[in-house]
Amino acid sequence: MEANILHADLDAFYASVEQLLDPALRGKPIAVGGGVVLAASYEAKAFGVRGGMPGRRARELCPGLIFVGGHFKDYQRLGDAAIQVLGDFTPVVERISIDEAFADVTGCTHLFGPPAEIAGTIRRRVRAELGLSISVGVARTKHLAKIASQVAKPDGLVVVDPHHELEFLHDLPVELMWGVGPVTRERLAGIGVNTIGELAKINGGSLERLLGPAAGEKLNALAWNRDPRKLETQRRARSAGAQSALGRKPAEAEIFVPALLHLADRVATRLRAKSRPGRTVTVRVRFADLRSVTRSITLDQPISATAMLAEIAEALVRKVLVDHPHEKTISLLAIAVSHLEKQPGLQLELPLGLDDDRRRPGTTKGAARWTADRAIDKIRDRFGWEAVGYASVALGPQRSVPDAFRELAEKEL
């Protein structure tokens, strides 16, 4: 019954780094990005500017908004340094993104004092050593610690008393919960559920019918702070994915085919780098009204060839568009590969002349694709990502989100 789990989250991280690097930007509304807002300072958020928002809309909301390009190497350097501060207090640290992590201080209180004191010291050190503010939540469970850090923002500390957890939790808005995005929030609001306490009172069966069995059961448990998860210090991604916000583009092949090839290139390159091909390919298509549709397929053999992944993803996207003939505009595309396997080499197959030889990694055609990709990987390792690639990607639509920004969000395979 002790609150020994900390969740530390750097405040408006990317924008705060830009203000740190350029003092002239401090106190001013800034946004990282251009065509799309990648991150916004608190001064910009006060006008309603949010990450993922089109740049034009952001400028309408905040006429004095200053856009900056982004210093991605500095984001990585400072994010690593902040997480290292947590590691100075406990070896039990689970990093979940570039700018946030959990820490379990159960075995460290005899050295550094109570959890609240440790959290306060972490905040002071990050401020003094890095010049950045960090908010920390302290609670008995991971879910509650993360919520507490959100309540603490900006630049605050919230400690949840184990004897008053539900009193703290049930008055908060439901969108603070893990797994409640805009779509889920709207569905819950449709049945009159706006707070976590109101969610907790909903019959489990009704919640599962509304959100699906898995999501309904999970949210019901979290609403009562039932979260048995332990920290995973050696956490590795169970899947590899990438997504691209397109704005509002026509649902036509000349738009989605190059975009899918670019996404496949990013995902497959990561899979090959770690020798972890995957068997399940999933695509997500978001339409103009922000409604998303997913389709997936599980293959007989794991794949990591770029062109192979792109063709499978393209077939899945075409199926989505056939199933939704009235949708004429796409705003986002995503590819994910799961059921990853450790496979240092390529398992060859007998030349049976099957119709899908090009999509089978061990066939003559499949092996040739994989070999070509490995050659591209070697060139990029030596001369950089832009040194070589697929022509249709280079000639395709201009991407509004830099690849360097995407890389910051990619988990270790």
- Is 381 labeled as ligand-binding? no
Q: Helical H runs in 131-174?
A: 142-152, 165-169
What mean pLDDT comes out for the span 15-39?
92
Q: pTM for the complete prediction? A: 0.74
Of the listed ranges 36-40, 182-186, 190-194, the one predicted with least confidence: 182-186
- What tokens were used for 28? 């001013």
Q: Does the active-site annotation cover 100? A: yes
- Banded model confidence at residue 137, pLDDT cuts 50, 70, 90: very high
339-387 per-position pLDDT tens digit: 998 876 666 665 555 556 666 676 778 788 888 888 999 998 888 877 8
Q: Label residue 235 by pLDDT band (50, 70, 90).
A: low
b/e 282-321 (16+ beta carbons within 10 angstroms → b): bbbbbbeeeeebebeeebebbbbbbbbbbbbbbebbbebb
List, in sequence order, every residue forming a beta bridge with 93; answer none if it has no partner.
103
Tokens of 359: 């999509």
The amino acid occupying position 160 is V
Task: Give the pLDDT mean for 153-167.
Answer: 95
Which strand ranges, in their side-by-side order, compose the sheet holding 134-139?
93-97, 100-104, 5-10, 134-139, 157-159
pLDDT for 371 equals: 86
Q: What pLDDT is attached to residue 324?
A: 93
Nearest to 377 by CA among 297, 254, 288, 272: 272
Rounded (10°) CA dihedral 164, 165, 167, 171: 160
13: CB partners within 8 A, 6+ apart: 39, 75, 79, 98, 99, 132
Out of 18, 43, 94, 100, the active site residue is 100
Annotated binding residue 403: no
User: Is the per-residue pLDDT at 213 higher than 60?
Assistant: yes
Q: DSSP code of 399?
A: P
Instruction: Return the sign of the alpha-carbon dihedral for residues 32, 134, 222, 409.
Output: positive
Q: Read off the pLDDT of each residue in 103-120 and give the average, rounded to a whole number.
A: 94
